[in-house]
Amino acid sequence: MSDTRPDLLALDAPGAAALVKGLGQPAFRGKQVRKWLYDKGARSVDEMTDLPKALRAKLSDGATIGTLSQVVEQQSQDGTQKRLYKLPDGHLIESVLMPYRDGRRTACISSQAGCAMGCVFCATGQMGFQRHLTEAEIFEQAWRFSAELKQVGERLSNVVMMGMGEPFHNYDAAVGAVRRMMSDLGIGARHITISTVGLVPAIDRFADEGLQVGLAISLHAATDSQRKALLPVGKRWDVETLIDSCRRYVAKTNRRVTFEWALIAGANDSAEEAHRLGHLLKGLLCHVNLIPLNPTARYDGQPTAEADAATFVEVLAGYGVPATVRVRRGIDIDAGCGQLRDRVTAD
């Protein structure tokens, strides 16, 4: 039986005020509740010690703080934390927290249960689409990490929407959650990134949002034939159309686009491929994020060798296209999106 109680994390300021007024309390108590949730990182109503005891009891019984139920957590040797959550309807999603030596604490969160895009090397794409997450479900993933970090004197500094799902397939909820991360968690727009496989109309729409949020494009191939083989979305929008939309985005926002490129040994990691990519991106305000492939059970590709990755970076530099090789994190706990869910459901 589903829980019909209101979720405090799903309420805006007027909604919180209305809830406490309905419980016989003045509206300002709603502000206190929100301050505990977002400024102090309270994870239970009992922690909200300046609320009247009677109100705390009513909220504990009559409302929830979030709807996600943690199934399992893994921690990597490099400090990466990966969590599997169950949604109220039983579907599973993943979230990851990555700590860095410079003090950054970055959450990678999901926007859908499963994914409809079908990218062949992605564990989430291999499982198919189940449903969109609500704005509150997306936001809650970031809030959970933020609340826990606050309680140990740290803060969530960055969020990347690169977990399970295609954010622009769930556009309104994803962008709404981003706005809440900015307003309620205090995370600057430039410290939030949305990743897409390249839904061109959504990229154009996003350019008009007026947000300084980062945009990352999963490119992975510089020719139509190769991209269609890796990303079925390439059958709908060819590479030229996608890059044109990125140029429009840069012209409107003056923001750099990041291109994600999974380096797959023997498939898209050659110097020749780097030259093709350099020609494609030359003159565009962009950065290429080279990601050694995270192997999955249903795709037999392997990550490229370090020497080949270094050559790829060098070739791109010759075209004035900056590129870096992402440090692989959480490999010992299968930190690629969808991998923990796959393993747990298999078990």
CA distance 126 to 342: 10
306 is known as an active-site residue: no
The CA-CA-CA angle for residues 252, 256, 257, to 5°, reads 95
Q: Which residue in 94, 135, 137, 273 is the catalytic one? A: 94
- Strands, DSSP E only, in 181-332? 192-196, 214-218, 257-263, 286-292, 323-325
CA distance 78 to 39: 28
CA distance 333 to 329: 9
Helices 171-185 and 135-150 cross at an angle (nearest 10°) of: 30
Q: What's the one-letter identity of residue 172?
A: D
115 is known as an active-site residue: no
Q: What's the one-letter identity of residue 164?
A: M
CA distance 263 to 290: 6
Do residues 85 and 138 make contact, with C-beta atoms less than 8 angstroms apart?
no
CA distance 38 to 143: 8
Q: Which residue in 108, 115, 122, 337 is the catalytic one? A: 337
The residues carrying an active-site annotation are 94, 337
